[in-house]
Amino acid sequence: MEFYQADPTLENYWRGVILFGKNVASYKFALAHALYEIDKTSNDIITLDELAVPFSRHLCEHLKHAPKQITSSRSLFLDTCAQFNNGEISHSQLIETTVRRGFANVIDAFHNVNGGEIEKRFFIDERKTHNGIRLTDNFFHLGERLQYQNLAFETTARWNLVEQAWAMGVSRNLVGVEFDEDNQLLFSRVNARRVDITSCRDSLNGYQKGRCFYCFKPVSLIPGDPALADVDHFIPWAARDEVANINGVWNLVLACKCCNRGVEGKSARLPGSRLLERLNARNEYFIQSKLPLHETIIQQTGKQPSTRKNFLENNWNAAKVRLFHTWEPKAEGEATF
């Protein structure tokens, strides 16, 4: 897959799983969060009993606000999680059922992306020999990477987006994801009622591989971090009268503070045509990621790749008439998309 082949780092293989894996249940996201949390200092073998505690906790928490966590009509395991939330069973009963039923498919399917297994495995299935999984060196090295601290934020954001698409039923109603600049949130509308989904910053970061869209400097998702990314309008807000839906996800990127508002930064200038090609490539990652960003980009920019490219070019040209001046960043890292 071009996403991680173009920049084959461990964090981008992991992002391939989270952002582009097939979405038939949310177990993959819960397993990822469990692996972030589990004590990995004493042993590379993680038993199902150890995994079951954080794995079930994350699923139970999400069930409280999003009852649909699977595309099939019913799951006996999720029924058990709901029973725990309702106080009908004990925590020990929840864990026992999680060990018995919760990992039936997710461990086998975790590394599968676009019909095949990714080249880097983060754990090996050893349920038959050790009743658990064995973490690989890839996972331990992943934990040492600068981008590791962003992955939990990205996983939560992706989980929130997927469950909102399930809740609305994308087969019947294309999900329109919108941006609230004041609160930095992505939201959708259900029967004219606004439903907040997740952080815009956390949602976009993985598709940009944790880097500033313009200069490729690493950015952070941690509140208060000096490198915390800004959410920026690629075509500046100043061109809002010339460009419809300028707040659309198609026009939102993450930028470092220097590029967004520094002395030599973009400010209200229009990024050059080379950067427009980069925006098109980033938006095509949304298409590959499937629901709901796939549906949103189609809704906002067109069904075919050529139509989407023309949409961007037409809006860029309209903005250039208004803004006149273009801007190019100074590279701070290797281009990875």
Question: What does pLDDT average to over the chain?
Answer: 92
Q: 306-312 long-range contacts, Cβ below 8 Å, gap at least 24?
A: 308/280, 308/283, 308/284, 309/280, 311/250, 312/250, 312/276, 312/279, 312/280, 312/283
Pair type for strands 112-113 and 178-180: unpaired
- The predicted pLDDT at position 185 comes to 87
295 — pLDDT class (breaks 50, 70, 90): confident
pLDDT tens figures, 41-58: 878 999 999 999 999 999
Distance separating alpha carbons of residues 190 and 181, to the nearest angstrom = 20
Average pLDDT over residues 106-129: 95
- The predicted pLDDT at position 172 comes to 46
pLDDT tens figures, 209-243: 999 999 999 999 999 999 999 999 999 999 999 99
Terminal Cα distance for the chain, rounded: 13
The dihedral built from the CA positions of residue 205, 218, 328 and 261, taken in this order, carries a sign that is positive
Q: Where are the beta strands (DSSP E) in 28-172?
A: 45-47, 112-113, 116-117, 123-126, 132-135
The conformation of residue 194, written as its DSSP 8-state character, comes to E
Residue 174 has pLDDT above 60, yes or no: no
pTM of the entire predicted model = 0.93
Average pLDDT over residues 100-127: 95
Average pLDDT over residues 149-167: 94
Tokens of 176: 């329109």
Distance separating alpha carbons of residues 98 and 80, to the nearest angstrom = 9
Query: What does the chain come to in residues?
Result: 337
Residue 173 has pLDDT above 60, yes or no: no
- The predicted pLDDT at position 175 comes to 55
Distance separating alpha carbons of residues 334 and 337, to the nearest angstrom = 9
- The predicted pLDDT at position 1 comes to 58
170 — pLDDT class (breaks 50, 70, 90): low
Q: What distances in angstroms separate CA 39 from CA 28, 131, 144, 177, 318, one per listed residue?
A: 19, 17, 15, 36, 54
Residue 336 has pLDDT above 90, yes or no: no
Q: Higher-confidence residue: 181 or 126?
A: 126
Q: Higher-confidence residue: 282 or 190?
A: 282
Hey, is 128 helix, strand or coil?
A: helix
Residue 186 has pLDDT above 90, yes or no: no
- The predicted pLDDT at position 24 comes to 86
- The predicted pLDDT at position 192 comes to 67
Distance separating alpha carbons of residues 252 and 204, to the nearest angstrom = 8
Average pLDDT over residues 23-49: 93
Residue 163 has pLDDT above 60, yes or no: yes
Average pLDDT over residues 249-278: 94
Task: Count the neighbouring beta carbons within 10 Å of the beta carbon of residue 197.
Answer: 21
- The predicted pLDDT at position 10 comes to 96
Which residue in 225, 237, 230, 176 sits closest to 199, CA to CA?
230
171 — pLDDT class (breaks 50, 70, 90): very low
pLDDT tens figures, 63-100: 999 999 999 888 999 999 999 999 999 999 999 999 99
